[in-house]
Structure 1
């Protein structure tokens, strides 16, 4: 890889490292990216292994690997044992501990959460900022403040910033509509890149969580992740790929009506939306306001509302799993039990019996891990 002045990156003592923006321009679609993808998928491959896999000469691969070692993207991991004469092969892998991603989740109730995460998924630092009802420009300023705090605490190079927001987000990192943050058409990616001078990815929070579940924890090719927090949203994976839709609204189940007129009013201004029943603040409030004998009924009602929305999607998409995240522990069993019962009343028995309806094992960190994966993909070109 070459720096913008044409000099070989990392060549010679004191040569400057490429910036993350320069890495992003150099890597995706290049031979460097092809090698990184192989290491990401298989790990611990030698230069000869890589050369055979990509159809390049060993000398070319050795030169490319040398550049990426100097940039801190690849590291030698171990020498293989050999029988007989000859030099032992040296295995390589992505240097996942050498870089940090600033990961931010804007979806929780009452606070914004962030972390510094390395490319192996290890969380090094956590920060949060109370929202204090901030909306619009005030919410943007709190987001930037949280990112600044995390950057100041980084003890190694930062690859980029990943931000996950509730609402509709396009592929250019614009928040087209977020009722919970009062953002409409906000160019969030551009705002953050201008402020930090770091490559930035902005995505819907549920989509990012679904990608993390797919990449790190799930075995299914067709799944939906339902994220319950300040709002309710879903990320849909079919044939292993994220479904966004032409208007980037795929998975926006929170504003599907599940009741008639007179239901609870939603932040979008309509009545009877799923989010008005199932969002965590609304659900907690309803449980706390109910007599003890009625509390399980409140939770079962929420589970049935979820099933009303899920049934046509599970039936039409052939989903293997529905993974739920964001519920507090006492709510999980009654809600999911009610959801399964209500699905059984709406779908063929074999569809419900084969559906894995479960809670994500990762919990609140799933969105942050998704933010890290988005940055790694955008900057390094690995999927």
Structure 2
């Protein structure tokens, strides 16, 4: 896995470079590289002539031709989206399954059927055609509280409570499956495919308000798997009523739909409305930022809301509350990874979990 980590997502390194970085012998690195090539995890892309005399050193990169990850996003309203992703985390094929409006709960059988459809798009690893691929695993991301064992503890958006989704998908398709909260998946994408550091936070303003936390390169889930569930914390007891039944929740104040409605009602106050929203978020997060000492914060949301008026006000509020000569205010920026952020992040989670098991599975 160490070789793969050095190459992921887009690096090309010679065996000489790998020997130096890993502190292993040339023979050991050569044996590992050959085995990974046999399993179609890496491939040779050329050679590097060393300075002076000596044999050229093969240059290797991740092989994107054979293995595929199925990644499914259940976080969008009225549609299930999915994709086939290569070992570099790039989407190579997409699919969608519309869902009827007014439906109270998403049917698990629809998720299984959609995953089966994506398996069909990948082809069979027993098929000798060049268009056929082997499935490394399935990753499914969704809003809600997710037990790492593969149970959806609670997802209000999907209408699910204690749904053993991992087991049902694996029983139906025979492919190892992982589940993640959608905001955690988004932060994984930012960490490994974007600009986030090993100590970072992601704030999501989409259907609601959520967050994710990475400390020392580990996603923090918490004792009850609810780390980052900030949407229903009351921040203004006199504020608007929330869909959860409480009054003044952060989500009731900052949900994109509410902010857009406020702007539609008073378009001349657009900048002021966005600045006030950013100020509220900055104030709410400041204690957590001070407590956790994160290096950077990425805000994931629609471009018409998460712009400079919003971010500038948020940045000023955080600075005013936590800045001191002993503390550096974290970098704060808008996420630029696009709408497929969570889907790609969930694929990365599957890749990092299952690539080390390829050798074991083939040997077994």
TM range (shorter): 0.7 to 0.9
Once the two structures are superposed, what CA deviation does each residue of 1:265-284 show, in whole Å capped at 9, x if it has no partner?
Answer: 22x33222212222333433
Q: Would you say 1:205 and 2:182 are equivalent positions?
A: yes
User: Is the Cα contact below 8 Å between 1:161 and 1:201 reproduced in 2?
Assistant: yes
The equivalent of 2:142 in structure 1 is 165
Q: Would you say 1:149 and 2:117 are equivalent positions?
A: yes
Q: Structure 2 vs 1, CA of residues 331 and 89 (structure 1 numbering), >3 Å: closer, same or farther?
A: closer
Show structure 2 runs of 5+ residues with no match. Answer: 123-130, 358-364
> Which deviates more, 364-373 or 146-155?
146-155
Instruction: Give secondary structure in 2 for the equivalent of 1:354.
Output: coil
The equivalent of 1:96 in structure 2 is 64
Report how many aligned residue pairs link the two structures.
346
Q: Distance in 2 between matches of 1:67 and 1:36?
A: 12
What is the aligned counterpart of 1:308 among 279, 283, 292?
283
Q: Would you say 1:270 and 2:246 are equivalent positions?
A: yes
User: Is the Cα contact below 8 Å between 1:51 and 1:61 reproduced in 2?
Assistant: no
Q: Would you say 1:363 and 2:338 are equivalent positions?
A: yes
Q: Would you say 1:174 and 2:151 are equivalent positions?
A: yes
The equivalent of 1:71 in structure 2 is 39
Q: Distance in 1 between matches of 2:207 and 2:355?
A: 32
Q: Aligned-pair distance for 1:137?
A: 4.5
Q: Distance in 1 between matches of 2:6 and 2:278?
A: 42
User: Is the Cα contact below 8 Å between 1:254 and 1:274 reproduced in 2?
Assistant: yes
CA RMSD of aligned residues (A): 3.0
Q: Would you say 1:380 and 2:362 are equivalent positions?
A: no
Instruction: Give secondary structure in 2 for the equivalent of 1:246.
Output: coil
What are the equivalent positions in structure 2 for 1:108-127 lying under 5 Å apart? 108-127=76-95
The equivalent of 1:279 in structure 2 is 255
Instruction: Give secondary structure in 1 for the equivalent of 2:198.
Output: coil
Show structure 1 runs of 5+ residues with no match. Answer: 1-32
Instruction: Give secondary structure in 1 for the equivalent of 2:178.
Output: strand
The equivalent of 1:334 in structure 2 is 309
The equivalent of 1:11 in structure 2 is none
Q: Structure 2 vs 1, CA of residues 295 and 52 (structure 1 numbering), >3 Å: closer, same or farther?
A: closer
The equivalent of 1:214 in structure 2 is 191
The equivalent of 1:343 in structure 2 is 318
Q: Distance in 2 between matches of 1:326 and 1:341?
A: 19
What is the aligned counterpart of 1:80 among 30, 33, 48?
48
- Normalising by structure 2, what TM-score? 0.83
Q: Distance in 2 between matches of 1:217 and 1:380?
A: 21
User: Is the Cα contact below 8 Å between 2:242 and 2:251 reproduced in 1?
Assistant: no
Q: Distance in 1 between matches of 2:164 and 2:271?
A: 42
Q: Would you say 1:232 and 2:212 are equivalent positions?
A: no
Q: Distance in 1 between matches of 2:146 and 2:53?
A: 58
Q: Structure 2 vs 1, CA of residues 349 and 54 (structure 1 numbering), >3 Å: closer, same or farther?
A: closer
The equivalent of 2:125 in structure 1 is none
- Normalising by structure 1, what TM-score? 0.79
> Which deviates more, 77-86 or 297-306?
77-86
Q: Distance in 2 between matches of 1:52 and 1:221?
A: 20
Q: Structure 2 vs 1, CA of residues 160 and 271 (structure 1 numbering), >3 Å: closer, same or farther?
A: same
User: Is the Cα contact below 8 Å between 2:19 and 2:26 reproduced in 1?
Assistant: no
Instruction: Give secondary structure in 2 for the equivalent of 1:372.
Output: helix
Instruction: Give secondary structure in 2 for the equivalent of 1:346.
Output: helix
